[in-house]
Amino acid sequence: MKDNFSHAAAEYAQYRPTYPANLFEFILSYVKEKKQAWDCGTGNGQSAAVLSSYFQKVFATDISQAQINNAYKEINIEYAAEPAEKTSLPDNAVDLITVAQAIHWFNFKKFYAEVNQVAKPGAVIAVWTYSLLHISEEIDLIINEYHYKTLQTFWDTERKYVDDG
C-alpha cells in the first residue's frame, strides 16, 4: 500500500476539491436505511463530512493517520487509520460504502471481499474518480499530450486504472 499524501496532509485538507451536492443526492436516492456509512479512503474526510448530515454514524478510514488528523470533525464521524482491505467494522454493518477518488490504490480482490463482509443486505457501494476533462478535439489533444507524455513519469502505475475508465 502506498501512502502518497501524509507528507502534505494539511495542504491536502486545505486545497482538496469537494464534490457536488447532486452527486450525493443521486447516491443517497438508492440507499434505503441511513444508519451507518463507511467512507473508505476518506483522506481528509470531504465525503464523510457530507455523509454525516444523512447518517446516524459515518465510519471513515484511511491508511494515513496524518490525513485523519487533518480531517473534518463531526460528532457522528469515527475516523480510523485502517486499510481498505481490512477494517474493524463488524459484519453486515453498513448501508452505504463510498470511495471518492481512492479505488485505484486498493487491492481490488481483498477490498471487495471486505465490502461483501461489512455491507448489510441491499447496501449500496458508490465509487467515483475524476479523470481528464473533454472540451474540444483541439484542446483535448493538448491535454492528452500533457497528461500522457509530459507528466507520464510522475504518475503512479495505479493511476492507469482511472485513466482506463
Q: What's the DSSP call for residue 63? A: S
| pLDDT tens track for 30-58 | 999 999 999 999 999 999 999 999 999 99
C-alpha distance across the termini of the chain, in Å: 21
Q: How confident is the model at residue 15 (pLDDT cuts 50, 70, 90)?
A: low
Cα gap 34→153, rounded to integer Å: 42
Contacts of 34 (CB under 8 A, 6+ apart): 28, 54, 55, 56, 95, 96
Residue 23: per-residue pLDDT: 96
Q: Is the predicted pLDDT of residue 121 greater than 60, yes or no?
A: yes
Q: Is the predicted pLDDT of residue 12 greater than 60, yes or no?
A: no
Least confident of 8-12, 19-23, 103-107: 8-12
Residue 3: per-residue pLDDT: 64
| pLDDT tens track for 71-107 | 999 999 999 999 999 999 999 999 999 999 888 889 9
Q: Is the predicted pLDDT of residue 22 greater than 70, yes or no?
A: yes
Q: Which helix (H) or strand (E) holds 96?
A: strand 94-100
Give 6 or 31, the one with higher predicted confidence.
31
Of the CA atoms within 13 Å of residue 25, those in its CB half-sphere come to 3
Residue 10: per-residue pLDDT: 57
Of the CA atoms within 13 Å of residue 42, those in its CB half-sphere come to 35
State the residue for C-alpha cell 457522528.
Answer: 76
Contacts of 109 (CB under 8 A, 6+ apart): none
Contacts of 115 (CB under 8 A, 6+ apart): 97, 125
